[in-house]
Amino acid sequence: MPFLELSLPCTEVQQPRYERALESVGALAVTLADAHADAPDEQAIFEPGVGEQPLWNELVLTALFAAGTPQELLLYALDAADEGLDWSRASFREVADQDWERAWMDQYEPLQFGRRTWIVPWNHELPAGADAADAAVVRLDPGLAFGSGTHPTTALCLQWLDTLADEGALRDARVLDFGCGSGILALAALKLGAMQAIGVDNDPQAITATADNAERNGVADRLAVYLPQDEPADTYPVVVANILASALVALADTLAARVAPGGRIAMSGILHGQEDEVIERYAKDFESLRAERLEDWMRVTGVRRH
């Protein structure tokens, strides 16, 4: 069925109020986009850090309403919902319905990371190489959460896990995927030989997507997913955190406490130029800290001090 779409420019500071007002009058969905998506210095957005929602400074907020919703009455209701907001720049258009997720999946091709890790859409044939006896194949349906393997930060972490598997460091290990998104890293670790994986994310949609993907990959009995407040305090020989650099710095003590002595950590979601701050923050708890670059993004790895 068609929908009525409302679009409105706003700032990062204003966004939560606008979103609350839209939801209070019955918005079916609210999405955000960079107001300067075509600008050369566009600020990237990727898997959100645990406990925060990274946003661009200037946004375009889009909301969907049922077709036939009267525009003037809708604006009146929005004014009443929050009298301090300006709805004068709101624009409307009718949009046709489509299966947005399936349309995205039609454009998604299998990807290989390292020697034997493959990310393959759930409805795609296995490519040559992914059918090898030792291939670690993750069948992915990202749903509403970030994490498909296409972003350099995810690629960096998948390559690291593939290398750990070749070294035997994942065999029968327990792995923590902190900021799990779609669960792609936890799933890859399990397919590469880990005994158990724990996923943590602040987004309930990510929890659902990770659980669904674990079921699809036949590893639901070895993967548990938690919101941050529900995460059991434990230590792991392998921890991977693909979140924001600012979140990595803020959560350094928390993440350090999750890595067992002698255990390994990989952190990404770090723009080139931010890696020094991350390394400095983790230096007291980790040794052998090193940074690797892919495009404009960095991965920092280290070994927990005994």
The alpha carbon torsion through 289, 294, 297, 301 (nearest 10 deg) reads -20
Residues 286, 26: Cα–Cα separation, whole Å: 49
Please name the residues in contact with 169: beta carbons below 8 A apart, sequence gap of 6 or more. Answer: 237, 238, 264
Task: Tokens 């993440």: give the residue.
Answer: 255
State yes or no: 285 annotated in a binding site. Answer: no
Please name the residues in contact with 295: beta carbons below 8 A apart, sequence gap of 6 or more. Answer: 152
State yes or no: 296 annotated in a binding site. Answer: no
Judged by DSSP in three states, 79 sits in: helix
State yes or no: 162 annotated in a binding site. Answer: no
Q: Which residues pair with 30 in a beta bridge?
A: 63
Residues 190, 136: Cα–Cα separation, whole Å: 9
State yes or no: 79 annotated in a binding site. Answer: no
Annotated binding site for S-adenosyl-L-methionine: 154, 179, 201, 242
Annotated binding site: 154, 179, 201, 242
